[in-house]
Amino acid sequence: MPEKIYVKDGKLIISDNPIIPFIEGDGTGPDIWRATRKVVDAAVEKAYGGRRSIEWKEILAGEKAFHLTGKWLPEETVDAIKEHIIAIKGPLTTPIGGGFRSINVTLRQELDLYACVRPVKWIPGVPSPVVHPEHVDVVIFRENTEDIYAGIEWEAESEDAKKARQFLNIEMSCNVPEDAGIGVKYISKAASERLMRKALKYAIENGRKSVTIVHKGNIMKYTEGSFKNWCYALAKSEFAGKIVTEEELPSCGSNVPEGKIIVKDRISDNMFQQLLLRPSEYDVIVTPNLNGDYLSDAAAAQVGGLGMAPGGNIGDYIALFEATHGTAPKYAGLDKVNPGSLILSAVMMLEYMGWKEAASLITEGLAKAISQKTVTYDLARQMEGAREVTTSEFARAIIESIT
């Protein structure tokens, strides 16, 4: 009998037949979702011998929702994710410039999914532009609700921009030009602390060695500089027996004490090149919204691109896992694109559920298909001797490895 996931005494209660909502997505979303669903179902069947299964429940967002309901993001969709706790989605359309607000951002804010978690690790055989992609194994915790992505901005020469400019120039002695669009960047103590707390808990539970706070606090002293300070303070007050800061290392003989996690920080632009040149020195990264956006994409580029990059938006309990790339509308319905990002996001989802056996089967099956050079066009064009297959054929290759 299918059952909803619920929270009891601070823990997720998940039956052997949970109901999990899905949004198939726009553009290539339906293609990669069909592939992902088949792979997940096969892995769950194999791992648990039919004792466990997922009851999939479609919910609407994006173009399909607009065509059927007249709304890009129906209230029922948000309510369904709240009700069922865990969900998964394909990519959704967001026009640049005018039009409706980003559905992805709206979902994160409406559901208070404050941590965008992006694990980045190389799968052997995947083409990479760097010499040693095997050195990349990071998990990025990006703050998801604040910073300049909060969406507080006014168009240049609008009445609202005029009011904001007058206040800033007259009351705050700023010098904002008349033809400027204006946006607000804010970072709060509470949001910074809960992100750092989640990152440190993850590092402890998964045997990670370091947590790096990434910020531009040398310039934005009262937003990103405060983010750094609040993260350090949280680490020292709540995890005192489990961490050591980089500044404290000299007193420890420059060696990290056994069983402790080192907490350090890096300026964001420096971190960008560090991630390229010395990735093995970084493990868990915690950072404000914009920094996390470009760092996670840059890290993904080192291991094969966004087609191989999973992601999850996670709050205290509610979690929405997603493909991290765009909709690629020119390939819609062609059964062509790489479903790896959504498949690996489903792996994250299964791990979050505690179904690690099924998650491992998918990871191993994906790695085997790639090692055999049975891949979609994006990887095939970079691999000598590869056999190019469709989206659904790639999923079938993974399933054959699983079963």
Question: How many beta carbons lie within 10 A of that of residue 84, not counting itself?
Answer: 18
Q: Is the pLDDT of residue 147 over 90?
A: yes
Q: Which residues line the annotated binding site for NADP(+)? A: 93, 325-331, 338, 377, 381
- Asked if the model's pLDDT at residue 151 lies above 80, the reply is yes
| Span 297-340, pLDDT tens digits | 999 999 988 888 899 999 999 999 999 898 999 999 999 999 99
Residues 268 and 326 in one domain: no
Residue 403's identity, in one-letter code, is T
Length of the chain: 403
What is the distance between the alpha carbons of residues 105 and 148, in angstroms, rounded to a whole number? 12
Tokens of 203: 């590092």
pLDDT band per the 50, 70, 90 thresholds, residue 253: low
376 belongs to a structural domain = yes
Q: Average pLDDT of 174-194? A: 96
87 backbone φψ class: left, alpha, beta (φ>0; ψ -120 to 50) = beta
For the question of residue 293 being annotated catalytic, the response is yes
Q: Are 116 and 285 in contact (CB under 8 A)?
A: no
- Over 80: is that where the pLDDT of 97 sits? no
Q: Are residues 44 and 88 in the same domain?
A: yes
Question: Looking at the domain assignment, is residue 124 inside a domain?
Answer: no
**If pLDDT is split at 50, 70 and 90, which confidence band does 202 have?**
very high
Place of tokens 């799968």: 123
Rounded average pLDDT over 350-375: 96
Residues 334-369 as b or e (16 or more Cβ within 10 Å = b) = ebbbbbbbbbbbbbbbbbbbebeebbebbbebbbbb
Task: Examine the domain organization and report whether 175 and 214 are in the same domain.
Answer: no
Residues 379 and 340 in one domain: yes
Note the pLDDT of residue 98: 54
Q: What are the tens digits of pLDDT across the range 292-304?
A: 999 999 999 999 8
Q: Are 140 and 248 part of one and the same domain?
A: yes
Which candidate in 149, 232, 282, 352 is catalytic?
A: 149
Given the residues 269, 294, 316, 356, the one annotated as active site: 269
Question: Is there a domain that residue 318 lies in?
Answer: yes
Residues making up the annotated binding site are: 93, 102, 104, 108, 118, 142, 293, 325-331, 338, 377, 381
Judged against a pLDDT cut of 60, whether residue 204 lies above it is answered with yes
Residue 137 covered by a domain: yes
- Taking all residues of the chain, what is their mean pLDDT, rounded to a whole number? 94
Domain count for the chain: 3
Q: Is the pLDDT of residue 288 over 80?
A: yes
More reliable by pLDDT, 101 or 352: 352
Residue 128, amino acid: S
Q: Which of 216, 232, 282, 283 is catalytic?
A: 216
Confidence of residue 8 (pLDDT cuts 50, 70, 90): very high
Domain membership of residue 100 as a residue range: 1-114+313-403
- What's the confidence (pLDDT) of residue 93? 85
pLDDT confidence of residue 99: 53
Query: Is residue 202 domain-shared with residue 179, that is, in the same domain?
Result: no
List, as residue ranges, the binding site for Mg(2+): 293
Regarding whether 341 and 353 lie in a shared domain, the answer is yes
Q: How far apart are CA 151 and CA 146, in angstroms?
A: 9
Task: Judge whether 149 counts as a catalytic residue.
Answer: yes
| Radius of gyration in angstroms for the set of CA atoms belonging to the chain, rounded to a whole number | 22
The rounded distance, in Å, linking the Cα atoms of 355 and 341 is: 19
Residues paired with residue 7 on neighbouring β-strands, in sequence order: 12
Positions at the binding site for D-threo-isocitrate: 102, 104, 108, 118, 142
Mean pLDDT of 41-62: 97
Long-range CB pairs of 249-256, under 8 A, 24+ apart, other chains included: 256/209
Give mean pLDDT, residues 283-289: 97
- Using 50, 70 and 90 to split pLDDT, how confident is the model at 124? very high
In a domain, 176, yes or no: yes
Q: What is the pLDDT of residue 56?
A: 98
What residue type is 295 in one-letter code?
L
In the set 242, 293, 317, 368, the catalytic residue is 293
